[in-house]
C-alpha cells in the first residue's frame, strides 16, 4: 500500500505545469512550479519542516515547547502542521495588512495569533518583528524561528525545491523566476541550480515600497524606497540574511494594482487559483520577456493558494475600492 505516515510525508514533490494563454507573448516554454500542492497549500511547508527539524537537532526546540514566529501567514501554517504532528504550540505574529483568511486559517489549526500595525519601522516595539522577538523572550521553553535569518530556510530549498526543478526539466531549465520575501526560496533554489549550471539566470520579483531591487543594483540600503504596499508575501523593509544577492541576477518591480489584476487573470485564464504573489510573479516575468529566447525553459514558482485572498484580490468590491478595476 502507498501512503504517508502522517501529513508531513506529503510535503514536496509538487508538480510542474505548462503555462499557456497568459504567456503567449513569451516564445520560451514557461513552466510553473506549483507549490499549492503542499499540504499547507504553500511553498513554506518545506522550510517550516526543515527549520523545526534542525532546531530539534541543535537543541533549540525542546519537547512541549512553544514555536514563535512573525509571518505573513504561510510560514505560520507550515509551522502549525509540523507542530501538530510533533506536539508543539505555535504563536504567530502578523501585520494588519494580511488577509483575514490567513488569520482565520492559522487559528483553525490551533495557532495563537497576534496582529501588529504594518505602518511602523521594523525596530518599533509594535512591529511584528519586535513583537515576535519580545514574545520569545517572555515565553518559557520557547523557540523564535526568525525565518528571515534562519539558514535552514535556504537549506530546505537547496535540498528539495532546486533538485525537483532540475529533475522535472531534465536539466534544461535556463531561467528561474520567483517573488522574494524572506529570500529562502530564491536563494536556496539559486544555489542548487547554479551549482548544476552556472549559466542559469535567477530573477527576483520585488514590489514598490521594498528595498530589494535598489539594494541589488547599488548595494545601498535606501530608506526612501520604503513605504506601505498592499502586495502580500514579497518585498521587505529589511535585508534578511536569506536573501543572497550574489546568487540573483536581477530584480524587477511590480505595482500593487498589477499584482492584484494578474492574480485574478491567473484564475480566469489559466485555471490557476493562486495567491497575490503569483500575480506579481507573472507580471514581473512578462516585464522580463526580452531576456527569454525561444529555446529557453523558464520556470516560475507559485507560492500559495487563492483561498487566502478571497476577501481581497478575488473580491471585486475590494478591487474597486482599491481602484484596481473599474
From the list 13, 33, 44, 155, the catalytic residue is 44
Cβ(10)–Cβ(282) under 8 Å? no
Residues 6+ apart with CB under 8 A from 301: 32, 33, 35, 43, 161, 176, 177, 178, 179, 185, 189, 281
Q: In whole angstroms, give the CA distance from residue 31 to residue 49.
A: 26
Q: Which helix (H) or strand (E) element contains residue 89?
A: strand 89-95
Closest by alpha carbon to 255, among 176, 322, 316, 184? 322
Q: In whole angstroms, give the CA distance from residue 237 to residue 123.
A: 11
Closest by alpha carbon to 81, among 20, 151, 6? 6
What is the rounded radius of gyration, in angstroms, for the C-alpha atoms of the chain? 19
* Whether 44 is catalytic: yes
Positive or negative, the CA dihedral 300, 225, 76, 99 is negative
SS3 301: strand
Positive or negative, the CA dihedral 13, 301, 185, 129 is negative
SS3 53: helix
Cβ(104)–Cβ(132) under 8 Å? no
Enzyme catalytic residues: 44
Amino acid at each position: 500500500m502507498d501512503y504517508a505516515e502522517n501529513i508531513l510525508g506529503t510535503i514536496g514533490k509538487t508538480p510542474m505545469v505548462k503555462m499557456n494563454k497568459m504567456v503567449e507573448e513569451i516564445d520560451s516554454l514557461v513552466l510553473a512550479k506549483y507549490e499549492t500542492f503542499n499540504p499547507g497549500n504553500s511553498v513554506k511547508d518545506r522550510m517550516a519542516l526543515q527549520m523545526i527539524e534542525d532546531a530539534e537537532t541543535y537543541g533549540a526546540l525542546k519537547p512541549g515547547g512553544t514555536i514563535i514566529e512573525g509571518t505573513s501567514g504561510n510560514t505560520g501554517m507550515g509551522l502549525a502542521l509540523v507542530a501538530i504532528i510533533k506536539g508543539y504550540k505555535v504563536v504567530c505574529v502578523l501585520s494588519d495588512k494580511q488577509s483575514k483568511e490567513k488569520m482565520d486559517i492559522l487559528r483553525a489549526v490551533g495557532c495563537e495569533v497576534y496582529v501588529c500595525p504594518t505602518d511602523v519601522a521594523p525596530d518599533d516595539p509594535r512591529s511584528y518583528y519586535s513583537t515576535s522577538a519580545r514574545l520569545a523572550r517572555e515565553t518559557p521553553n520557547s523557540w523564535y524561528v526568525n525565518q528571515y535569518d534562519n539558514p535552514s530556510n535556504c537549506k530546505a530549498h537547496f535540498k528539495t525545491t532546486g533538485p525537483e526543478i532540475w529533475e522535472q526539466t531534465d536539466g534544461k531549465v535556463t531561467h528561474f523566476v520567483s517573488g522574494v520575501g524572506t529570500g529562502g526560496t530564491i536563494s536556496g533554489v539559486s544555489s542548487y541550480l547554479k551549482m548544476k549550471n552556472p549559466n542559469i539566470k535567477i530573477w527576483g520579483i520585488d514590489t514598490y515600497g521594498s528595498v530589494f531591487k535598489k539594494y541589488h543594483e547599488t548595494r545601498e540600503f535606501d530608506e526612501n524606497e520604503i513605504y506601505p504596499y498592499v502586495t502580500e508575501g514579497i518585498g521587505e523593509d529589511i535585508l534578511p540574511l536569506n536573501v543572497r544577492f550574489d546568487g540573483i541576477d536581477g530584480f524587477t518591480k511590480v505595482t500593487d494594482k498589477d499584482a492584484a489584476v494578474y492574480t485574478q487573470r491567473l484564475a480566469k485564464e489559466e485555471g490557476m487559483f493562486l495567491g497575490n504573489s503569483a500575480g506579481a510573479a507573472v507580471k514581473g516575468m512578462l516585464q522580463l520577456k526580452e531576456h527569454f529566447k525561444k529555446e529557453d525553459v523558464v520556470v516560475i514558482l507559485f507560492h500559495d493558494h487563492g483561498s487566502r485572498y478571497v476577501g481581497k484580490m478575488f473580491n471585486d468590491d475590494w478591487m474597486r475600492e482599491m481602484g484596481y478595476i473599474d
